[in-house]
Amino acid sequence: METHPSATAATPVIPGFHPDPSVCRVGEDYYLVCSSFEYFPGIPVFHSRDLVNWTQIGNALDRPGQLDLPVDTPSSGGIYAPTLRHHDGRFWLAVFNVAPGGGTLLFTTTDPAGPWSDPVRVPGVTGIDPDLVWDEDGTCWCTTAGIAQVRIDPRTGETLGTPHPVWSGTPGTAAPEGPHLYRIGDYWYLMISEGGTERGHGVSIARGPSPAGPFEPCPANPILTHRSTDRPVQNTGHADLVQAADGSWWMVLLGVRPQGGTPGWHILGRETFLAPVTWEDGWPVVGEVGGELPRSPGLEVPAPAAGGRDDFEPGGLAPYWISLRDRPAECVTTKERDSWLTLRARGGSLDEPDVIFVGRRQQHLAFQARSLVDPSEGRGGLAVRLDERHHYSVEAGPDGRITVIARIGSLRSVAAELTLPTQLLVLTVRTGPAPEPHDSRTGPDSLVFGIETADGTVNELASLDGRYLSTEVAGGFTGRVVGLYAAAGTVHADWFEYLPISG
């Protein structure tokens, strides 16, 4: 594969909340999956021919029975870091569901676009971040955060023995997790993340003669970290390795792009980046994150993620639309009104865990979104959501009252209010510059909510400080999601448009 120096070293290959990437190659095709937490469907699946341009081809967990996220599954609980592997003609996916009744789950398919199998439960594996690898004898090894390891039968979920500790990274370093085990050349390599998924994050590796070790750490550990640097991409870690069809090696990893002053706020969640890997003395050496990127003949790189307009055709929502915990057909449908999305309220406002909300990830540092809604049968609107306790929205209802609502922690406030005769309305949100102060405390951005009148004039109602919809404020593992919700009655949307402004 050709490589070319990129001027956009801070550009993720899959922007927006797409953390914990796991990748595998079959011939010329690459497949990649990410964590999905409290959202349904779960585990977005991407395809690429060059490791740079990725297309979402589905979601592995797209039906009830595969993905059970009870209403008491907390935000940033649910589906944690998956591992995707291809073995013996099948794709395998291992995940841990951090939810009541959850645990380790395995799925398999011959087509990563789906459908994927029902889950096989592995009750004997209780750690997060399960990795799967098969040795020369066909034995399957499952390695989890901690780091612990046990042999399993992936078809039945039976554990063959009890999990036992293996190499757990650099002594004194927090949170050994995200293990992946590989047979490369004469060695078995155990690559893990350590330091926690925040600014101290890093990747370390060890090697040994068997999948169970004993493991000798790489003298150059951590092989990747951006801790204590001023690089634009921070929190780099939770990585997976893949060998390209031409023999070159690559790492996919998560990173964040903090904005504003100190301590820096990341608003898009943890994103997927790519870095080149070379080998020296039998150890991997990681190049610049986002630096030298591969290029397949005929493909321009790196292509920024597209925005676009959804017209809600009756076939259903595109795979990038995500809901909270489930998506009951009686509450979310494109079949009730021709080419409209209908949302029927169930749980009240965005403060409630069972609110009916569907959205797509904010994938650009600056964006705008618009939607034409009919609020004549219920109250609802356009929201930017981090979690139940951190969201902003513009909402309309049959009484003609339009409100901009800000929820920050335990505070809920109506930031702006306006009454208009009930009518079809275009609700709008866009990012803008951070509000004052413009000093070391400058936030990442602002979120400006408004309505558009029939002649296309935008009436901006409120501009809200974006820092409160960042992971540094809200906590957790996700990022901003922008979308539509119903708080009472039934709300219809004719179309929804998401457009990048920059980055």
The reply on whether position 477 binds ligand 6LW by CB under 6 A is: yes
Q: Which of 129, 131, 177, 445 is catalytic?
A: 177
Cα separation, 372 vs 381, in Å, equals 10
Tokens describing residue 201 = 């994050």
Of 237 and 294, the one with the shorter C-beta distance to ligand 6LW is 237
Count residues binding ligand 6LW (CB under 6 A): 15
Q: Is 158 designated active site?
A: no
Of 146 and 347, the one with the shorter C-beta distance to ligand 6LW is 146
Interface residue with ligand 6LW among 75, 143, 193, 393 (CB under 6 A) is 193
Distant-in-sequence, close-in-space partners of 185: CB < 8 Å, separation ≥ 6:
282
Whether the Cβ atoms of residue 128 and residue 81 lie closer than 8 Å to each other? yes
Of 362 and 403, the one with the shorter C-beta distance to ligand 6LW is 362
Which residues within the stretch 35-64 sit at the binding site for ligand 6LW (CB under 6 A)?
A: 35
Interface residue with ligand 6LW among 38, 50, 62, 177 (CB under 6 A) is 177
Residues 141, 144, 146, 148: what is their CA dihedral angle, to the nearest 10 degrees?
A: -20
Of 41 and 178, the one with the shorter C-beta distance to ligand 6LW is 178
Of 102 and 178, the one with the shorter C-beta distance to ligand 6LW is 178
Tokens describing residue 40 = 């349904």
Q: How far is the CB of 180 from ligand 6LW (least distance, A)?
A: 11
Q: How far is the CB of 489 from ligand 6LW (least distance, A)?
A: 36
Of 193 and 204, the one with the shorter C-beta distance to ligand 6LW is 193
Q: Which residue is nearest to ligand 6LW (CB)?
A: 197
Q: Beta-strand (E) ranges in 42-198?
A: 42-48, 55-61, 78-79, 83-87, 90-98, 103-109, 120-121, 131-134, 140-144, 148-153, 158-165, 177-184, 187-194
Of 190 and 356, the one with the shorter C-beta distance to ligand 6LW is 190
Distant-in-sequence, close-in-space partners of 171: CB < 8 Å, separation ≥ 6:
none
SS3 for 234-302, per residue? EEEEEEEEEECCCCCEEEEEEEECCECCCCCECCCCCEEEEEEEEEECCEEEECCCCCEEEECCCCCCC
The SS3 of residue 212 is coil
Angle at 99 between CA 43 and CA 172, to 5 degrees: 85
- Helix, strand, coil percentages in the chain from 3-state DSSP, rounded to 5: 0, 50, 50
Which residues within the stretch 387-426 sit at the binding site for ligand 6LW (CB under 6 A)?
A: none
Q: How far is the CB of 38 from ligand 6LW (least distance, A)?
A: 12
Cα separation, 23 vs 66, in Å, equals 21
Among candidate residues 387, 384, 323, 378, the one with its CA nearest the CA of residue 351 = 387
The reply on whether position 18 binds ligand 6LW by CB under 6 A is: no
Q: How far is the CB of 204 from ligand 6LW (least distance, A)?
A: 13
DSSP code of residue 469: G
The reply on whether position 478 binds ligand 6LW by CB under 6 A is: no
Q: How far is the CB of 176 from ligand 6LW (least distance, A)?
A: 10
Of 40 and 80, the one with the shorter C-beta distance to ligand 6LW is 80
Residue recorded with tokens 């029902």: 118
Of 35 and 368, the one with the shorter C-beta distance to ligand 6LW is 35
Task: Show the binding pattern over residues 112-151: x = contacts ligand 6LW (CB under 6 A), - = does not.
Answer: ----------------xx----------------------
The reply on whether position 81 binds ligand 6LW by CB under 6 A is: yes
Which residues within the stretch 349-378 sit at the binding site for ligand 6LW (CB under 6 A)?
A: none
Residue 473 belongs to what H/E stretch? helix 471-474
Cα separation, 274 vs 21, in Å, equals 10
Q: Is 177 designated active site?
A: yes
Q: How far is the CB of 37 from ligand 6LW (least distance, A)?
A: 8
Interface residue with ligand 6LW among 12, 15, 16, 19 (CB under 6 A) is 19
DSSP codes of every residue in 403-434:
EEEEEETTEEEEEEEEE--S--EEEEEEEEPP
The reply on whether position 178 binds ligand 6LW by CB under 6 A is: yes
Cα separation, 245 vs 251, in Å, equals 14
Which residues within the stretch 214-243 sit at the binding site for ligand 6LW (CB under 6 A)?
A: 237-238
Q: How far is the CB of 490 from ligand 6LW (least distance, A)?
A: 35
The reply on whether position 465 binds ligand 6LW by CB under 6 A is: no
Among candidate residues 76, 86, 115, 99, the one with its CA nearest the CA of residue 24 = 86
The reply on whether position 176 binds ligand 6LW by CB under 6 A is: no
Q: How far is the CB of 235 from ligand 6LW (least distance, A)?
A: 8
Q: How far is the CB of 330 from ligand 6LW (least distance, A)?
A: 32
Cα separation, 38 vs 56, in Å, equals 19
Interface residue with ligand 6LW among 66, 97, 197, 349 (CB under 6 A) is 197
Cα separation, 90 vs 113, in Å, equals 13
State the residues that interact with ligand 6LW by CB under 6 A.
19-20, 35, 80-81, 128-129, 177-178, 193, 197, 237-238, 254, 477
Which residues are part of the catalytic machinery?
A: 20, 177
